Structure 1
Amino acid sequence: MVNYQTCRIMFMKYLQIEKNASPYTLKFYTDDLNTFFTFLEEEQIQDLNHLNERDIRIFLTNLYKNQLSRRTVSRILSCLRSFYRFLQREEFVNQNPFMHISLPKSEKKLPSFLYQEELEKLFHVSDMTTPLGQRNQALLELLYATGIRVGECVKIRVSDIDFDIGTVFVTGKGNKERYVPFGSFAATALKTYIEDGRNSLLEKTESQTNCLFLNVRGQPLTDRGIRFILNKMVEKTSLTVNIYPHKLRHTFATHMLNAGADLRTVQELLGHEHLSTTQIYTHVTKDYLRHVYMNSHPRAKKK
């Protein structure tokens, strides 16, 4: 019989080292395993080998009683399926009782995006005479120009930017690498920031860093820092929308498809492993087209 916590520690090391899991994944999986271990203790199941389908049904019933969403339950099941797969590989258990447990159907939520008019307001709020204004403009332009994840953005180094061919080298999930192109607006904003604002920020610290985006103290910008910057930019406009880095990623994909880009190209640019992940944006574009039609066609709706 193997101690629960020993298994958890080994599994977390496996996720961090072999799978290169993000800090968010590690946090959620830790919480999910603790929820599962609490259930095992309450049910007096002392051996991970002794879990059966009846136990799993009771566990799922408890999750729904706590009013957890289907998406959260699905994540917990995915975590436990991976956990038992790892235990099987290490020969701690004989079988994976979660292998044939179906995941609950997730709610079909379409990704939200910004309209062009909303984006234009954001592009005009930064004070380009200040280092932070130059940084914020470069950040906004790059996120929208490339559709990269916020976790990918904070890893970018100055040397990853190639102005000659207009690409940025990105390290994505699972250390998968790709080159993403960017246009002239992003190039101009990045050059201004790198040649001026970034140097001013570097003067505020004795340590040297090759990270592209820096905070007010000259240190590498974090995920949370980027979210804070975007929220502050919205506050300076008359917009009432909620904005977060992934919304710019949704906006990038939606605008690309609306302009005629094919799905495979958008998949490559976003770094999606499966085309099905990218296909959700086709539903967004259909809604967008209907919105444009209903507001533009003279006889689309009665006055």
Structure 2
Amino acid sequence: MMLSQATADFVAHLEQVRRLSPATARAYRADLADLAATTGDVEIGLIDLEQLRDWLWRATQRGDARSTIARRTSSAKGLFRWALDAGLVDADPSLRLVAPKRGRTLPRVATADGLDGVLADAERAAADGDPVALRDHAILETLYGSGVRVAELCGLDLDDVDLDRATVRVLGKGSRERTAPFGRPAVRALSAYLTRGRPALAARTDETTPAVFLGARGRRIGPRSVYDLVARAVGPLVGSSAVGPHALRHSAATHLLDGGADLRAVQELLGHASLGTTQIYTHVSNERLAAAYRQAHPRA
């Protein structure tokens, strides 16, 4: 089988059997298309370890980030492991392929006091009943209050929100469903938006949608609009205009751990498949602890 056809079948396997997210599947497809551009669209069984190493070396020479090269290594390993199981190759040439260690980048985290100010500003802006301001306040409170991902927030339908129990039901990575709680401020913001803001936005189009959060034209809001909202609201707080919705997710996780929440509980809240993914927030909390110690302790 040619490499291009093997790639198409492998990505289809990821989407249909392993149920990876569309974004992850796109990343695999792009990585393996780059491999084909380097080796040529040859029979997959003809590709050897040296060709794979040359492919990664070229990426290094281009200046690709270590995280990108590590992901490409993972893509190649996944493809050839699948190909071996499917009987398309006699041996796996990627077994001795070594990925570079990824540098640890601590997520940007806003202070709890700073976010209180941001959310208070959003609440004041929504006080006059403007539907977009009501929506924006509800989005910010939901992102920070529940720690959901931006794709999960945009995918919320009306039936997914339970204001009485203060929970949202979301479909996370790998099509894993979970229920995320949120606090009273988010309940108030969502209630105001659903009562006064959403109907006004929904009236701007003839289409009917079950989406909770609507754009200015009355259709389901997209991630780009949420990114722009968070960048405007939270960017000045963390000193970067490139900040996105994940900053609120990072902040929620860190503030939970700062408040004494159990790491396993935070893992469940965020929908992490691995506890190791959640543990990065303990490093953030330790950094904050160390900074507070250096600033306040007389023997620091």
Q: Tell whether the structures are fold-level matches, with TM greater than 0.5.
A: yes
**Contact 1:293/1:300 (8 A) holds in 2:** no
Instruction: Report whether the alignment pairs 1:59 with 2:59.
Output: no
Shift of 1:56: 2.4
| Residue number in structure 1 paired with 2:66 | 70
Instruction: Report whether the alignment pairs 1:194 with 2:190.
Output: no
Instruction: Report whether the alignment pairs 1:29 with 2:28.
Output: yes
SS at match of 1:180: strand
SS at match of 1:125: helix
Structure 1 length-normalised TM: 0.91
C-alpha distance after superposition, 1:245-281 (max 9, x if no partner): 1111110110000011111111111111111111111
Instruction: Report whether the alignment pairs 1:290 with 2:290.
Output: yes
Deviates more, 1:177-186 or 1:100-109: 100-109
Instruction: Report whether the alignment pairs 1:227 with 2:223.
Output: no
Deviates more, 1:52-61 or 1:280-289: 52-61
One-letter code aligned to 2:148: I
Q: Where do 1:134-213 residues align within 5 Å?
A: 134-213=134-213
One-letter code aligned to 1:86: W
Hey, what's the Cα distance between the residues in 2 that align with 1:213 and 1:29? 30
Shift of 1:72: 0.7
Instruction: Report whether the alignment pairs 1:101 with 2:101.
Output: no
Instruction: Report whether the alignment pairs 1:4 with 2:20.
Output: no
**Contact 1:15/1:26 (8 A) holds in 2:** yes
Q: Cα gap change, 1:238/1:281 in structure 2, threshold over 3 Å: closer, same or farther?
A: closer
Shift of 1:52: 2.2
**Contact 2:4/2:33 (8 A) holds in 1:** no
One-letter code aligned to 2:68: T
Shift of 1:121: 2.8
Instruction: Report whether the alignment pairs 1:115 with 2:114.
Output: no
**Contact 1:118/1:239 (8 A) holds in 2:** no
| Ranges in structure 2 where 5+ consecutive residues have no aligned partner | none
| Ranges in structure 1 where 5+ consecutive residues have no aligned partner | none
Structure 2 length-normalised TM: 0.92
Hey, what's the Cα distance between the residues in 1 that align with 2:219 and 2:162? 22
**Contact 1:110/1:284 (8 A) holds in 2:** yes
Hey, what's the Cα distance between the residues in 2 that align with 1:115 and 1:124? 14
Percent of aligned positions that are identical: 32
